Structure 1
Amino acid sequence: MARLGEGDKRWIVEDRPDGANVHNWHWAETDCLEWSRNYLTTLLCNEPILNGEGNFYIRIKDLAKLEGEAYVNVRKGKIIPGYELHLVLSYEAQAKDSDGSSVLRTEGSVEVPYISDENAGEDPEIKISIKDDGPFGKRLKEAFVEKGKPFVFEKIRQYVDTMAKGGPAKDDLEVKKVAPKKPSVSNSNKTVDNNSASRTSTTKEKRKEGFKTITMSEKFSCRARDLYEILMDENRWKGFTQSNARISKEVGGEFSIFDGSVTGTNVELQEGKLIVQKWRFGSWPDGMVSTVRLTFDEHESGVTIVHLSHTDVPEEDRYGNATVVENTERGWRDLIFHKIRAVFGFGI
């Protein structure tokens, strides 16, 4: 036993020149606050928002404040970013008349109170102010809201995506490369064909590794066409979910629900019978898209059973959280079906 005040060296992990974090197995954390300050400054500052359109000139001048925390954790090759930031930008604005003479020169600020990994798939709240509240000042502020607000959101999304990929720790990540095995060659054509068929089957199975399928059946006391309409009408969707939505009713049209957390496209639509859509959550890894299939079975007048099949749901999100399937299933049950049931009635 070690004496009081002294650590037992058997339990101390020392920094050693021959030490290595092989394949990032151990937990490694990188402080990203200063890097975030520099990166956001590069993305946002000295950028023109308006350069003469309507005789207005607006430019983001500098990053006045960035407070909070930002870090990237890496464990077993998984990137887990974390950040809670309060961002303030300053901008300068100028209005000119038709002959180029300056009518008003003023300044303003852009405040983004909360940029967080918890809301990575959503645009954050933004507050825009200007020092001059006269007619030209108000018009300059409106111009910034129209042109500058989307620009700021775009750059914040770029920051979020970069953090999700590792931020400043990206270059330090060790990538484990596994060389593909060469298929064995047989003297028999029959054996080669059998091996080829076997490999094809295995490839299909491996392609689905890391993905799950959610199936549910729910019963409602309503007509099938009414249930179809409540899922495809953005105003009704807003009503029963209490969230913003944009929903196209056309095949190939796009939709955005739950305040933009879920986006996708319509693949097949049969009114009152079938909805097939491609769904993507903002927190999923890049390129991952799932398929939602809803069939409506009105086996008796005024009673409809909805059958849900949600395929290709990834087991982990972009941050390494292995709760995607559980959360998606709960979302269908609690945030969609139960909310509709509150309007139409009983369940199966």
Structure 2
Amino acid sequence: MARMGEGDKRWIVEDRPDGTNVHNWHWSETNCLDWSRNFFKNLLCNKTLLSGEGNLYVRTKNLEKLEGEAYVNVRKGKIIPGYELNLVLSYVAEAKDSDGDSVILSTEGSVEVPYISDENAGEDPDIRVTIKDDGPVAKRLREAFLAKGKPFVFEKIREYVDAMAKGGPAKDDLEGKKVVAKKASSSSPSTDVGNVGNNSGSTVKDNKRKEEKKREGFKTITMSEKFYCRAKDMYEILMDENRWKGFTQSNARISKEVGGEFSVFDGSVTGRNVELQEGKLIVQNWRFGSWPDGIVSQVRLAFEEPESGVTIIKLTHSDIPEEDRYGNATVVENTERGWRDLIFHKIRAVFGFGM
């Protein structure tokens, strides 16, 4: 706590000689629309999708339009992306005869993705594919784009979603500030003798624990979600394999007994029930198939019902490895996104428990 008459130094920006937003404590916003336009141009334009297969040739052309808004907010070091975009991409298509010598039809078309939004980050958006000409050959070319181009566009949109989740154009700036903050903390010993004397024991222990945790390479995520339903309903959804299959559209096998095993998301996540209190608590061991061998995390879901028909779920997912078995360092980020987009948001959408 700051002394009387002094403000919290994390909030002071204008009085600092360098104007630094210390540890990204302030709310800062970066406009990402131009960056998004360039991002999609690099990913989508002038890419060959078909080069003679079935005597068809399809190539993306220009990013004709990218309108809407895109930004990244940073508060207390947390990245909060926001975007609502309308994208239009042109393409050229050509069909040749069976010998591959003569051109039967050369035409153009367009692809519109009317709503790319952070609200639907875990889902493929709607897409509209049109072609200028009519007739069976034009129809064949349009169907060829749907077969090859549609997955290609969705893949690039997912890359954009991941890039925005990591900070978009603000990513490099954020990483630079983290490096500066680490250097400053390691090279600037405390000069407050009173604080050192009073708290040295607990501070050393806390730092040691943090360092040990960091060396271990594991993280914990926490989340709080509100649903308009009874707590027992949410508990039943999360413990019933048929309901899991319904809102995830994937296979699930779930035991309702303590010590019983479960398997969800087509077997990519497996585990065991540790503690179950109907309508109140679920504690489970979770393991992802992509994790290094022998690593098991713990999931704790506490259910609170502050008023009838309103349920608060408090999630604590601990012992998540920072890297998977392939060396990818996005495990924590993907796990958090999975809980939010593939579980909690899907439950709201399917069962109508929206906020």
In the superposition, the TM-score normalised over structure 1's length comes to 0.58
Superposed displacement of residue 278, structure 1: 4.8
- The letter of the residue matching 1:255 is F
Superposed displacement of residue 204, structure 1: 6.1
SS in 2 for 1:20: coil
Once the two structures are overlaid, the 10-residue window that deviates more, 204-213 or 85-94, is 204-213
- The letter of the residue matching 1:140 is L
Alignment of 1:133-282 (within 5 A): 133-173=134-174, 174-175=177-178, 176-177=181-182, 203=212, 210-211=220-221, 231=241, 241=246, 243=247, 245-247=249-251, 255=265, 264-266=268-270, 278=287
State the partner residue of 1:60. 60
Alignment of 1:1-348 (within 5 A): 18-100=18-100, 101-173=102-174, 174-175=177-178, 176-177=181-182, 203=212, 210-211=220-221, 231=241, 241=246, 243=247, 245-247=249-251, 255=265, 264-266=268-270, 278=287, 311-312=317-318, 331=344, 335=347
Superposed displacement of residue 84, structure 1: 0.5
Superposed displacement of residue 126, structure 1: 0.8
Superposed displacement of residue 133, structure 1: 2.4
Structure-1 separation of matches of 2:76 and 2:114: 33
Structure-1 separation of matches of 2:16 and 2:182: 26
Instruction: Identify, as 1 or 2, the structure richer in helix.
Output: 2
Superposed displacement of residue 158, structure 1: 0.6
Task: State percent identity of aligned pairs.
Answer: 55
Superposed displacement of residue 83, structure 1: 0.7
State the partner residue of 2:205. none
Structure-1 separation of matches of 2:57 and 2:262: 39
Structure-2 separation of matches of 1:148 and 1:254: 31
Q: Is the 8 A contact 1:267 1:276 kept in 2?
A: yes
Once the two structures are overlaid, the 10-residue window that deviates more, 170-179 or 50-59, is 170-179
Structure-1 separation of matches of 2:252 and 2:134: 39
Superposed displacement of residue 162, structure 1: 0.9
Superposed displacement of residue 98, structure 1: 2.6
The two structures, once aligned, show a CA RMSD in angstroms of 5.0
Higher relative contact order (CA 8 A, sep 6+): 1
Structure-2 separation of matches of 1:149 and 1:140: 13
Superposed displacement of residue 167, structure 1: 1.1
Q: Is the 8 A contact 1:32 1:168 kept in 2?
A: yes
Superposed displacement of residue 131, structure 1: 1.3
- The letter of the residue matching 2:250 is R
Superposed displacement of residue 97, structure 1: 1.4
Call closer, same or farther: CA 1:18–1:202 in 2, change over 3 Å.
closer
State the partner residue of 1:286. none
For residues 263-289 of structure 1, the C-alpha deviation after alignment (integer angstroms, 9 at most, x for no partner) is 9434579xxxxx986579xxxxxxxx9
Superposed displacement of residue 14, structure 1: 6.3
Structure-1 separation of matches of 2:319 and 2:30: 30
Q: Is the 8 A contact 1:26 1:76 kept in 2?
A: yes
Q: Is the 8 A contact 2:68 2:83 kept in 1?
A: yes
Superposed displacement of residue 331, structure 1: 4.5
Structure 2: runs of 5+ lacking an equivalent: 1-12, 187-207, 225-229, 255-260, 274-283, 290-295, 302-314, 321-331
SS in 2 for 1:142: helix
State the partner residue of 1:7. none
Structure-2 separation of matches of 1:247 and 1:49: 32
Q: Is the 8 A contact 1:72 1:81 kept in 2?
A: yes
> Which is greater in Rg?
1
Structure 1: runs of 5+ lacking an equivalent: 1-12, 181-198, 257-262, 270-274, 281-288, 295-308, 340-348
Structure-2 separation of matches of 1:144 and 1:253: 36
Structure-2 separation of matches of 1:201 and 1:67: 44
Structure-1 separation of matches of 2:54 and 2:108: 18
